């Protein structure tokens, strides 16, 4: 076997986000092929063989790569619409447009979403795609291909909807699948794209959309399918007060009890938002180790409310961060969510310590790895873990006068990314993608946004 090729990063601050929150004010990190080989204080060890590159990271903080736990890539081409709506009105306004997407649009939107996240420090992304209009092409394949080409580690949450307007749901009739069709297509997607290996670049989860757009049977059989195939499960939960009312009226119970009754609580499940959770809901999530994708900017944009993240963490609920779709978070960046999560969760009297900078960083790294079921491989910088990491430049005007680098990263302006690595492969250099043409992506997404708007208008 060929000897491991090494990249040595030196003279940097390091926040490992390991179980002890180990940090080094001035340290080094060694990448050997796809993994972190060693790290620690001071200079790298003498005599390392096959060093193909040395990086002087003076003025930088090295962290694990950011992990995005909730997104809807297709929404990249419907940004800036319905900007003053709550969730229900926003969905009603946009579903007729979303129902007309096709493979070309989805590929372009996925590239835009991935590019924006990757250049901002995301090394693991996910997409909850649930709109599969009839005759729209291979949407799942387009999304997976976009992530593969970008070089980002990826989870496709293969979504589905079978409750349309005629059944009391929100999406148009032609935008939903049948129960059997959705389950069959989901199983085919898992078999085609899911990789179980330690360093897998693509994994698939079973992900019916939300109580407003899916039948109880799709939830129940979706859970059975996921557990038979050995993959994770994802959906939206407890996002708004309207959802609470909807579940009580239709099912005679709140969202958490409803999900539990259909098999949708467990350590193989994570849910987006979870804004309206009472003490017993949080206790149920903690008891079952059900994860949460916290999306602070989207929740604020749609006036959904503030999720009780500090209470969830105190109870032992796994929590990660999510961008959410860019029709409700137009920036599409996860590194800004570190700051927004901290600030939003401090709103209210005597909440100045509700979250701190290191907790926010953990949400965006190890917490995300937990909810995606990949905490053994990514989310912290430790020997043997995959080399997914980011070098944040903190010696410019924006951050240089903040002594603590983690405080600078979380409380300060969005920090420039000097380098981002996935599997030991560099994908970002000085804030620009190395794996794609950003200007070409911008042109493509602009064209596809116009095309979709024209089709929807007809």
The average confidence (pLDDT) of the chain is 96
**pLDDT tens by residue, 190-239:** 999 999 999 999 999 999 999 889 999 999 999 999 999 999 999 999 99
Strand partners, 319: 292
The secondary structure element, H or E, covering residue 88 is helix 87-98
- Pick the residue with more confidence: 261 or 164? 261
Percent residues over pLDDT 70 in the chain: 100
Give the global pTM.
0.97
In angstroms, rounded to a whole number, what is the distance separating the alpha carbons of residues 163 and 174? Answer: 11
Distance between CA atoms of 293 and 311, rounded to whole angstroms? Answer: 14
Judged by phi (left if over 0) then psi (alpha if -120 to 50, else beta), residue 153 lies in beta
Whether the predicted pLDDT of 428 surpasses 80: yes
Does 1 score more than 70 pLDDT?
no
Asked if the model's pLDDT at residue 107 lies above 70, the reply is yes
SS3 state at 189: helix
Query: Strands, DSSP E only, in 246-287?
Result: 269-273
Give me the mean pLDDT over the 62-79 stretch.
Answer: 98
For the chain, domains (ranges, CATH) are: 6-64+380-431 (2.30.40.10), 74-372 (3.20.20.140)
pLDDT at residue 184 in the model: 98
Sequence-distant (≥ 6) Cβ neighbours of residue 416 within 8 angstroms: 392, 393, 396, 430, 431
Question: What average pLDDT does the segment 324-335 reach?
Answer: 97
Residue that has been written with the tokens 């109580």 in this structure? 211
């Amino acid at each position: 076997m060929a000897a491991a090729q090494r990249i040595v990063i030196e003279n940097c601050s390091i926040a490992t986000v390991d179980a002890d929150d180990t940090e080094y004010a001035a340290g080094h990190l060694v990448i050997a092929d796809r993994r972190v080989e060693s790290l620690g204080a001071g200079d790298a060890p003498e005599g390392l063989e096959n060093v193909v590159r040395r990086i002087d990271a003076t003025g930088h903080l090295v962290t694990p790569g950011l992990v995005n736990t909730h997104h809807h890539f297709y929404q990249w081409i419907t940004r800036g619409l319905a900007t003053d709506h709550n969730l229900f009105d926003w969905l009603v306004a946009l579903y007729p447009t979303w129902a007309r997407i096709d493979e070309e649009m989805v590929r372009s939107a996925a590239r835009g979403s991935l590019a924006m996240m990757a250049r901002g420090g995301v090394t693991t992304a996910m997409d909850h795609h649930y709109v599969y209009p009839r005759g729209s092409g291979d949407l799942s394949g387009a999304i997976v291909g976009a992530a593969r080409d970008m070089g980002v580690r990826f989870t496709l949450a293969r979504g589905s909807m079978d409750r349309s307007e005629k059944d009391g749901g929100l999406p148009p009739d032609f935008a939903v699948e049948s129960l059997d069709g959705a389950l069959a297509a989901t199983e085919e997607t898992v078999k085609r794209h899911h990789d179980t290996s330690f360093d897998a670049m693509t994994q698939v989860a079973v992900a019916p959309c939300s109580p407003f757009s899916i039948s109880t049977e799709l939830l129940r059989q979706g859970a059975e399918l996921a557990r038979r195939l050995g993959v994770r499960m994802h959906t939206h939960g407890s996002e708004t007060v309207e959802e609470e009312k909807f579940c009580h009226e239709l099912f005679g119970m709140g969202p958490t009890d409803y999900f539990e009754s259909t098999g949708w609580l467990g350590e193989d499940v994570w849910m987006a938002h979870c804004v309206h959770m009472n003490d017993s809901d949080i206790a149920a999530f903690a008891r079952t180790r059900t994860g949460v994708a916290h999306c602070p900017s989207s929740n604020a944009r749609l006036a959904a409310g503030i999720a009780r993240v500090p209470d969830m963490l105190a109870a032992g609920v796994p929590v990660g961060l999510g961008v959410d779709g860019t029709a409700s978070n137009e920036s599409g960046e996860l590194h800004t969510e570190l700051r927004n999560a901290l600030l939003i969760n401090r709103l209210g009297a005597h909440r100045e310590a509700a979250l701190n900078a290191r907790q926010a960083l953990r949400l965006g790294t190890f917490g995300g790895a937990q909810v995606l079921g990949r905490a053994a491989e990514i989310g912290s910088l430790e020997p043997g873990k995959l080399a997914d990491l980011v070098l944040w430049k903190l010696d410019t005007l924006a951050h240089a006068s903040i002594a603590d680098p983690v405080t600078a990263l979380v409380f300060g302006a969005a920090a420039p990314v000097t380098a981002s690595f996935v599997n030991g492969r560099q994908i970002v250099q000085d804030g620009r993608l190395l794996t794609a043409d950003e200007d070409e992506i911008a042109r493509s997404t602009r064209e596809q946004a116009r095309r979709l708007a024209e089709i929807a208008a007809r």
